Amino acid sequence: MPTASPIYDVVVVGAGISGLIATQLLDRAGLNIKCFEARSRVGGRAVSVQQSDLFLDLGATWFWHNEPLVQQLVNNLGLGTFPQAIEGDALFETLVDAPSRLRGNPIDAASGRFQAGASSLALGLAAQLKPGVLELGDPVHSLSEEDGEIVVKSSKQIVRAKHVIIAVPPALAAELIGFTPDLPADVRKAAHPQHIAVMNWAKEKYTLPTQAASAGGFGHELFQQPLGHGKIHWASTEVATEFGGHLEGAVRAGIQAALQTGFNLKS
């Protein structure tokens, strides 16, 4: 290794949100840091495009109110946000029938959006880094341990680091980055599961009917009423009036059906 290659306290691989946060914290702490990003932009899966004064999110889009760190980041970066519109009726369309209108919106929980798109999180973080910290368009190809340091080879340079943070999905890192010594077998195995289970729900007799459901959709009012003179009750996430399609909807529908049954038994 030529002694001239620069040495950093930390090299971060990847400038998605995770890598940018790590880079920003260490940069602020006064460490000598470098962040390599393969693409020519920051943000990774948080990517937005601008159409006149509108920002369209093509990856991450929403944040929810039980996510304090995203909210804190929004505040720190001074980003504008707005609530996702969920008021009004939902339209339900099957393959066979024209769209039908459902009262209210039984699926979506209240969420927030970023005025300048989700990529504004990444752009805001990147803007706070010291000049020269970020290397765009420079994928890391290999990480090798040499003389107590990590030699980092990217497409454009070779640097050394005391520590490296891999802010890339592990399975991708195992595929794209050469490790010397090689990744431990258990780490490689964890990154690449040996078995992938795939289920074709479209062929599941006890989940999907052979014909597309033609009426209703989530939370239809007809399924709130029992049949059989009050003796046959509906449950399942499909009939939930809120969070339909989610586990939360399934739990609510089960509770609702039990309450209805219990009430009818007593009356």
Ligand X SMILES: Cc1cc2nc3c(=O)[nH]c(=O)nc-3n(C[C@H](O)[C@H](O)[C@H](O)COP(=O)(O)OP(=O)(O)OC[C@H]3O[C@@H](n4cnc5c(N)ncnc54)[C@H](O)[C@@H]3O)c2cc1C
Of 16 and 249, CB closest to ligand X: 16
Binding mask of the shown chain, residues 196 to 235, with x at each position contacting ligand X by CB under 6 A:
----------------------------------------
Identify the residue among 8, 11, 14, 233 touching ligand X (CB under 6 A).
14
Identify the residue among 8, 10, 19, 33 touching ligand X (CB under 6 A).
19
139 near ligand X, judged by CB under 6 A: yes
Of 19 and 117, CB closest to ligand X: 19
124 near ligand X, judged by CB under 6 A: no
Of 45 and 101, CB closest to ligand X: 45
143 near ligand X, judged by CB under 6 A: no
176 near ligand X, judged by CB under 6 A: yes
Q: What is the DSSP string of the chain?
A: --TTS-EEEEEEE--BHHHHHHHHHHHHTT--EEEE-SSSSSBTT--EEEETTEEEESS--EEETT-HHHHHHHHHHT--EEEPP--SPEEE--SSS--EEESS-SSPPPEEEETT-THHHHHHHHHTSPTTSEE-S--EEEEEEETTEEEEEESS-EEEEEEEEE-S-HHHHHHHSEEESPPPHHHHHHHS-S------GGG-TTTS-SS---S--TT-GGGGS-BTTTTB---SGGG-SSSTTSHHHHHHHHHHHHHHHHHHHH-
Identify the residue among 27, 37, 149, 238 touching ligand X (CB under 6 A).
37
Residue 55 CB, nearest approach to ligand X (Å): 14
174 near ligand X, judged by CB under 6 A: no
Of 22 and 250, CB closest to ligand X: 22
> Using CB under 6 A as the criterion, which residues of the chain lie in contact with ligand X when the complex forms?
13-19, 36-39, 44-46, 59-63, 139-140, 167-168, 172, 176-177
